[in-house]
Structures are given as structure tokens and as C-alpha cells.
Structure 1
Amino acid sequence: MLEIRNVDKVYRSRGKPPVHAVRALDMAVGRGEIVALLGSSGCGKTSTLRMVAGFESVSSGQIALGARRIDELPPARRKVAMAFEGYSLYPPLTVRENIAFALKAQQLSHGEVNRRVDEIARLVEIEDTLDKYPRSISGGQQQRVSLARALVRDADLYLLDEPMGQLEPQLRAVLRGRIKGLLAERGMTAIFVTHDQTEASALADRIAVMEDGVLQQFASEKELKNRPANLFVASFIGEPPMNLLETDVAAADGDFRLSAGPDIAFHVPSGTLGPAAQRALAQSKRVRVGIRPQKVTVGSGDVQVRVMSNQWLGDQAHVAGECAGNQLIAVTSSRVAARPGDVIPFSLDSRHLHIFGADGVCIRHAEAG
């Protein structure tokens, strides 16, 4: 198990203000678990990976792997394998020699080293480059060499920094499945950095969503979508993003009425709220509410929407519209006969609402189903 305990990373440069890249990070990764660090550029995910690998020092906090504290150990003693976003290949060595480099310390036979190299090269489809030098192959091939060099090792933890960012979409989709199968089959514990939600969903058992150096939520993809911890996670996870509306709060016969202008209103029964959510709504004048585009019904309902765009993506329609200054997106599995400028009805069911307090924390999740 990997444990990251209250870890901070602060970069300091003379003449410049310090940059607090990672803030009070607590995470535990189980043995054999595959975890994605997901977030926008500069959110702290690569700094986290490099601190675990030992290429960045920890400003405060501790990192433990198994029964060993490793944050004070040099990288070579951590039993951690890392694939770098910048590849970091050895130019004088061939691709085969680059991949085999880490195996030499294990005192394996020449035949065993070649067998392992050939096997991993086939998996990432670089077997025809093994006798070439890094400078003579493409960026995408170099990225796969870096990935192969990490995966071929015997390590307690595998760290992959944007492992397939330079690959063509079709090859990326193929390799995701193969790498997921390899990691699962061998029980390899892995953490990978990505800004691609599809990649995170395809590879990871759990996803750690980061922003501004802070871990926002660490959960499965399903939980992130259905039970987002806060507004950031709600708006960041999902494609298209969650519809978010500012609403006024009013008590209504013991229940609550949430109004986003004169044309959009939600009746929220007190029985659907826990005690904390009831208190929060009773003390609030305004809250944000969210509803997933997949939960918006097109063609019926009380909300009249002026269509802004209507896109058919081959297996679903994305219909964007406007109502009293609010923008809404609906996703449906069937085509919608509407053109920009047409007015059509949307149905927004209060059962599918997520409600967020003034601090952005979710105080009520949508009902299941």
C-alpha cells in the first residue's frame, strides 16, 4: 500500500513568490490498485507523482510504501518504476538497450532479458524499433519506449506520467485495454497522471481529482459522477458538463422552492433532504443546483428553451438551449427535430438535482436511478 500523509510541496525561487503546488495531500492506494491523478494543467498531479518517485523533495509530510517510509530515500532505493512525460531516454542506447537497462541490475540471464523486452515491446507495438536509436523514431514511439521501460521492471509501484498523450486515438484505445489487462493480471500497483477523463475512466479503479494543489475527491468514476463532493468535481467530471443554475431559496409548506428565474423552478420535498441539508437550505438565500445533461428530458416539460445548437454525434444528440438567461444542455439517444431558434420543452426533474451550498460543497445528491 502507498500512503501519502499530509504532503505539501512548495517551490521557492529567488526573487519570486513561492508556489504552493500541493497542499496537505492525504491519499492511500491499495496493493494492486490502479489510480488516476486527474486535473487541469498546473493542478499538482505531476508534482505529486515526482515526489513519490523521489525526483522532487517533500516540503512537509510523509510518503510510505508498504512498511517503508520512502520520502527520504533516493529514487533508486524506492522500488518505484516511472515513465516520464518527457521520455528521458538514453540517446546512445538502442530502444532495446533502453528498455533492458533497468533489468541488468536484477542479474537476469541474457535470454530472460530479451524475452521480457520482446514481450513488452509487442504489447506497446514497438517491436520494429528495437534496434533503432531514440533520435530516429517518432515522439509517439519514444513515449511507448518510456512506458515499456517502466512496465518491464519488477517494482512495488508503477508511476506513469501522461503515458499515452502523444499517441493516435485508435492506438491509444487499443493500448489502454492492453495495459489495463497487464496491470490487473500481474497485480501491479500503479498511479498515472492524465488530463483525459476517458483515459482515467478506462484505466483506473479510482480517480483522484485535483485542482490548485488540493485533492477535491478520490473515488470511483461512478461516484464522482453521481455523488460529486463539490461544485468543482460536478463541473469537471462528465461530458458534456453538468448543467449548473443559480437559484433563490424559499420555504414552501415545510418543503423548499428553488427558482432560477421566473421560468425554471424546482419543488424539493423536505423528505428528500437529510437534517444537515434541511438546515443548510433553511439558512440560505441562494444555492447552486446541478443536473446532468443525460437527466434532462427533451420534448416534454414546463421549461421552454430556445435552441442554440443541436448536434447529432452518431449515437446521441446534444441539444443546447437558453431559458431566461440560463444555458441548458440535454443529451438524448434519439435525434431531435429542432433547429437553432426553435422553442422546445425541456423537463428538469427535481429528483435529479444536486444542490451545492454557498461554499460549493454538495449538500444534497440526486436520487439514484
Structure 2
Amino acid sequence: MSAQLHLKSVNKKYNPGTAHEVHAVQDLDLEVGRGEIVALLGSSGCGKTSTLRMIAGFEEVSSGEVDIDGRRIDRLAPAKRGVAMAFEGYSLYPPLSIRENIAFALKSEKLPQADVNTRVEQIAALLEIDDILDKHPNAISGGQQQRVSLGRALNRRADLHVLDEPMGQLEPQLRAILRGRIKHYIKEHELTAILVTHDQTEANALADRIAVMEGGVLQQFDTPENLKNRPSNIFTGAFIGEPPMNLFEAVAEVVSGHVQLRLSPEVTLTYPSSTFSEELQGRIQQDHGVMIGVRPHSVQLTKEGLLAEVFANQWLGDQTHIAARFAGGSIVSVVHDLALPKAGDQIRIAISADDLHIFDTRSGEALSHGGQLA
């Protein structure tokens, strides 16, 4: 069972009309397709949890509409919305065993007890909680309680499944294992799911599309690949990726068949004009001042290139993060080997035009990616 979710100009204001009013979600338009997994991603206070709670019915919508398959649900009680939710705070029934907690979601289906037992045991095995089914919530760990809450939500047949930080309490190794299992389960059962997370790895691993939010505003709603390779603005470019995108203010000029991006009096990036579209050349000359971005993985260490001075070197077991002073600021390069430059060493770096992201300094909007208009 799955459905389409549509949020239409949804707003959430806390303490409206007072000096302490907070506009937590602003004019949010979002469509989640049937059988799609969508992640709401952002830092604390960005509006993602408020959005999820409005969908589930635990927060009122200040204005706008929430529809499932064309049926308006934002005025309905939570139990009548057809939404199954796994809470970050678990919300288990203390008097019931773990088996009974998971089975509780199946009562409305009026299944034979043998079928209930089978479904409970299957979801418990998937989440690796099959050894605690006869225990009670107060006798298990926080991570186990979170998996019970998740199992109860996934086991329920609903139009929409909403998951609030579904694996936030789990140790990294278990999270890595369960991500793949949970995504396979959701896809196999053709569920529509929307989840909240602050973990980019989790969002990338689970979601078909990711909605990046900040300050209550949707910044970009796109595939994980496009968020990284074609960020729509400076915020998304800087927020997505680890380590974050390197950003520099630059003065742009087209001189003698070359595009010059002056980052500082000492540092200018120069490229043949042919590497940039004519439309982009006209735009950056018009704007003159731009912001350029380059992912750390695209900053190349070369024998001939621009000088930078190393001030930190971190070996993470499978890659090296080298931070260097460059163009009056700093730049980070990621090398997929053990690299040995130490603090104080001079290195040379190169940045390909294909790896450049150019943004409008005033609006923050992307102008180009890899030399082509955004």
C-alpha cells in the first residue's frame, strides 16, 4: 500500500501574533510520489521535525494544506490520517511486551494470530530485535526501543510512513547494516515514506530525493546526486558534502580569450573562454563579483599549480584531508591515499573548470556548474 503526499503552501507559526512568534515552516510546497522515499534534511531548528509532525497530526498547520492521494488530512485526527509514525522518542506501551508492542499496529487488520506472529517475527529479525520479543520496554536499551518503534511503524499497513530520526540512537556499524535492509523492505512492500534526519549519510543511503531545509525554508528538493553536483544555491552547496565545499569570493573578467577569476591579489584562476558557455561569460562579466565553490575531492595536488601552505593533515584510514592556507583563506583537499605533507609545507594545487560551481554573491543562487549555466 502506498500513496502520494502533497504539501501545499504549508506554514507553521509558534506563538503567532506575539513578540515571541517563530515562523518555523514557511510556504512549503512538497510532493512525494507513490512508493518514493523522501528525506527532510537540515540542521536543528530548520523546520524538518515541525513538518513531519504536521503531516502526522501532532502539530496544527497554521495555513496551507496536507493531502494524501487528493484527500485533505490536515484537519483530521492523527488516527484517521492513514499515517504510521516512528517517533524519535519511541512512544512504546510500557505494560506490553515487545512482541505485543509491534503486533499492536496490526490489530485493525484483524489478521489470524498466526499471521500476526509471522509478521512480527519477520520485522523483528530484519531489525535484529528477535531475541527481545518477550521483554518489556523498560528492560531494553534506548537503541533497542528505537528499533521496536521503527518495527511497529513499518509493520503497519498505512498510506504513508513517517520516520523521525529512525536510527539516531544506534551505533554506526548497526546503522550501516540496517539502512540497506530498511530501504529494501520499504521498496519491496511499495511503501511511501518520509523521514527526518540530520545525518547526510543516512539521507543519501535511504532516500530517492532529499528536501534540504534551513530557517523554515525549502532550499532544494532533488536527488542526492544533484544536491552534490548541482546545488541550487550557496547554502545547499556548503551544507551538502563532507568535508564541506570550499568557497571563495572572486572577481570575474573575460580577458583575451580567457576567463579570469581573481580570488585575491596573489591568486587568479585562469581558464580558456571555451570552457565556459557564452551565456555564462556574459553573466559573470555582468555580475563581476561572484562566489566560486569546489568540492574538496576535486582539489588536485599537482607538481605545477597554485601555491598553498599546509596547516593540517588528517589521515582517516582510507583518505587524507589536507587543509592549507590559500587565497587569503583556507582550502581543503581530499586524497584517496596516505599523503604526507605536514604543517608548514608548501603544496601546489589545481582546480579544473569542470569542477567549478559559480554562485551569485548577492542572491546566493547558482549561476553555473562545470562551466554550464545552472
Q: TM-score range by the shorter chain?
A: over 0.9
Aligned to 1:303, which of 306, 318, 326?
306
**Structure 1 residue ranges without an equivalent (≥5):** none
What's the CA shift for 1:312?
A: 2.1
Aligned to 1:39: 42
Aligned to 2:337, which of 327, 334, 338?
334
1:261-305 deviations in Å (ceiling 9; x for gaps):
133212355555556644432222421100111111113332111
TM-score, structure 2 as length reference = 0.94
The answer on 1:353 being equivalent to 2:356 is yes
- CA distance in 2 between counterparts of 1:299 and 1:201 reads 31
The answer on 1:162 being equivalent to 2:165 is yes
Map 1:278-289 to 2 at 5 A: 278-289=281-292
- Paired amino acid for 2:126: L
Whether the 8 Å contact between 1:296 and 1:331 is mirrored in structure 2 is: yes
Whether the 8 Å contact between 1:300 and 1:347 is mirrored in structure 2 is: no
- CA distance in 1 between counterparts of 2:261 and 2:357 reads 12
**RMSD over aligned Cα atoms:** 1.8
Aligned to 2:33: 30
- CA distance in 1 between counterparts of 2:103 and 2:23 reads 37
Map 1:1-369 to 2 at 5 A: 1-12=4-15, 16-253=19-256, 256-267=259-270, 271-273=274-276, 277-357=280-360, 358-366=362-370
- Paired amino acid for 1:256: V
- CA distance in 2 between counterparts of 1:364 and 1:224 reads 14
Whether the 8 Å contact between 2:354 and 2:369 is mirrored in structure 1 is: no
Whether the 8 Å contact between 1:226 and 1:366 is mirrored in structure 2 is: no
- CA distance in 1 between counterparts of 2:178 and 2:32 reads 23
Whether the 8 Å contact between 1:7 and 1:58 is mirrored in structure 2 is: yes
- Paired amino acid for 2:294: I
What's the CA shift for 1:104?
A: 1.0
- Paired amino acid for 2:80: R
Distance of aligned partners of 1:271 and 1:68 in 2 relative to their CA distance in 1, 3 Å threshold: farther
Same amino acid, percent of matched pairs: 56
- Paired amino acid for 1:257: Q
- Paired amino acid for 2:142: G
| Structure 1 range deviating more: 98-107 or 149-158 | 98-107
1:190-242 deviations in Å (ceiling 9; x for gaps):
01111011111111111111101111111111101110000011001111111
TM-score, structure 1 as length reference = 0.95
Find the residue that maps to 1:301 and give its secondary structure.
Answer: coil
**Structure 2 residue ranges without an equivalent (≥5):** none
- CA distance in 2 between counterparts of 1:364 and 1:173 reads 34
